[in-house]
Amino acid sequence: MLNIAEGSGRFTKPDKRNFYIISRGSAFECVAIFDFLYDQEIINKSDFDEFYKSLEEMSKMLFVMIRKLQ
């Protein structure tokens, strides 16, 4: 979230694109964290699926934002 905000405040397309790429990578890191939490039985399958769906949607939106800045 913070990388998206920082990227939106940048003036050049390459700067914005870089922060959006970092943001997309962070979304993948979050998936790994939720996968670990599920494996450790800290969250249930329903919560994991909800988080995964949200992160997948966010990743797709960021991908479009990144592509538009090429």
Residue 13 contacts residue 68 (beta carbons within 8 Å): no
2-55 pLDDT, tens digit each: 878 888 888 889 998 998 999 999 999 999 999 999 999 999 999 999 999 999
Q: Based on the structure, what is the number of domains in the chain?
A: 1
* Residue 16 belongs to domain with CATH number: 1.20.1440.60
What is the structure's pLDDT at 66? 94
Nearest to 51 by CA among 37, 39, 36, 34: 34
What is the structure's pLDDT at 19? 87
Name the residue range of residue 53's domain. 2-68
| C-alpha dihedral, 22 to 28 to 30 to 36, nearest 10° | -150
